[in-house]
Every structure is written in structure tokens, then in C-alpha cells.
Amino acid sequence: MRVLGSIRGGRTSRLKQKVENNVFKRYHKLRYITRIRHWHGRAIHSPFAYSLIREALMEHRGNTFPIKEDLYEWLQREGISPQKCLKICRVYAFLQYKSYCTDYTRYSREDMLLIGDYISEEQLKCLADKIEKQGKRICVVLFGIYRTLPQHHVWHYLLRNIRCVSMDFYSFALLFFDRELNPQYYKMRL
């Protein structure tokens, strides 16, 4: 009888966790949509951020950038939608980057770092310290910042404690580490 009780308890706790996670996702999506501050680059006063959004991220501008095929394929394997893959590839081309890394544990001086997995606050702090020491503009792409509660906590830790320009697009975020840029936070929808 005890074995059955523990199995039922396990199922109940997993179901409860799924429901809580689903409610968390829906709540934050609705909250995100109602609190968008920057729509299509409006009210952005940083020349770097404005040109990045208007020239690289908005497709209807008529700008064409070469797409790095292996980066696009890696993004699709990670389950990123084709539209978002294209936007990230356009950012890569717009900033004229030459290299990227898909594993944050093996990062060493690449121009763009893509983080698709969960990363803890301690790992993120160590990584940010390593990036800031390099002295060049580096872009970090974080996926799923609102996917689960722990990822959401890491995202808010980053906003509070790490000096960078951050652009929140709900499903992914772009972080720019550059000493010449003032730290700013943009929450936007394209």
C-alpha cells in the first residue's frame, strides 16, 4: 500500500509542477506583451541599438546580409523557429563577426556565444567576467529566458548584476558586452 501511495504522490507532484510551469509561462507571456516598451526600435536613443534593430532585425528594410549556413543549421537543430534563426544570423552578419561558439564551457574569444541550455547564476557570472576581460564587443544569445522559473531567475540575476546592453525579445535575448556602451535594458517586440 505504501508503494502505491508513493507512486500516486509522485504523479501528483509532477502534474502539479507541470501546471505551475504552464501557468508561469502564460502569466509571463501576457505580462511581457502588456509591458513592451520599445516597439520596432521606437524610443531607443542608443545609436548602436537603434541601428542594430532598424538595419539588422527588421526584414522589411530591404537590407540583405549573407547568412552563415552552419550557424543557421545549428539554430534550427536547437528548435529555434526559422524566423528567429534568420534574425540571429542577420545580427551576426550586421556586426561583421567572424566566429561563434555554441558551448559556453568551451568559450574562448569568439565574437558570438549562443547559450541554448540552462546556465546557473555562478556559471553566468564567471562567463561574464571572462568576456569583459577581452575588451571587444561580444554578443551572447540566451534562449528560453521565460521558459522555466529557474531560467527566469537567471535572467533577472543577469539584469541586476552584470553590466551589459540587453535586448529582451521574449523567446531569446541578446546581450552585448562592450566597455564603450552604456548598460541598458530593452524589452521589445519585432
One-letter amino acid at 143 equals F
Does residue 165 belong to any structural domain of this protein?
A: yes
Name the band, by pLDDT with cuts 50, 70 and 90, for residue 186. Answer: confident
Q: Does residue 66 or residue 92 have the better pLDDT? A: 92
Contact 95, 111 (CB under 8 A): yes
- How large is the C-alpha radius of gyration of the chain? 19
Provide the whole-model pTM. Answer: 0.76
Whether 155 has a pLDDT exceeding 60, the answer reads yes
Residue 173, SS3? strand
Does residue 127 belong to any structural domain of this protein?
A: yes
Does residue 68 belong to any structural domain of this protein?
A: no
Does residue 18 belong to any structural domain of this protein?
A: no
Does residue 8 belong to any structural domain of this protein?
A: no
Looking at the DSSP bridge assignments, the partners of residue 67 are: none
Whether 1 has a pLDDT exceeding 50, the answer reads no
Question: In the numeric block, which cell numbers belong to residue 28?
Answer: 509571463
Please state the φ and ψ torsions of residue 42, each to the nearest 5 degrees. -75, 145
H-helix segments, 35-166: 47-51, 69-77, 82-94, 121-132, 149-161
Q: Pick the closest to residue 188 from 172, 84, 28 (CA basis).
A: 172
What percent of the chain is modeled with pLDDT above 70? Answer: 78
pLDDT at 40: 52
Whether 88 has a pLDDT exceeding 90, the answer reads yes
Instruction: Quick: pLDDT tens for 26-83.
Output: 776 666 665 555 555 556 778 888 888 888 887 665 667 888 999 999 999 988 889 8
Question: In the numeric block, which cell numbers belong to residue 97?
Answer: 563577426
Whether 2 has a pLDDT exceeding 50, the answer reads no
Q: What is the mean pLDDT of residues 150-170?
A: 88
Q: At what angle do helices 82-94 and 69-77 cross, to 10 degrees?
A: 140
| Domains in the chain, number | 1
* CATH number where 172 lies: 3.30.110
Instruction: Quick: pLDDT tens for 103-123.
Output: 988 898 899 999 987 888 889
Which domain covers residue 135, as residue numbers?
A: 36-41+96-189
CB contact burial 151-184 (16+ within 10 A = b; e otherwise) = bbebbeebbeebebbbbbbeebbbbbbbeebeee
Q: Pick the closest to residue 52 from 155, 164, 139 (CA basis).
A: 139
pLDDT at 5: 42
pLDDT at 7: 46
CB contact burial 57-68 (16+ within 10 A = b; e otherwise) = bbeeeeeebeeb
Does residue 178 belong to any structural domain of this protein?
A: yes
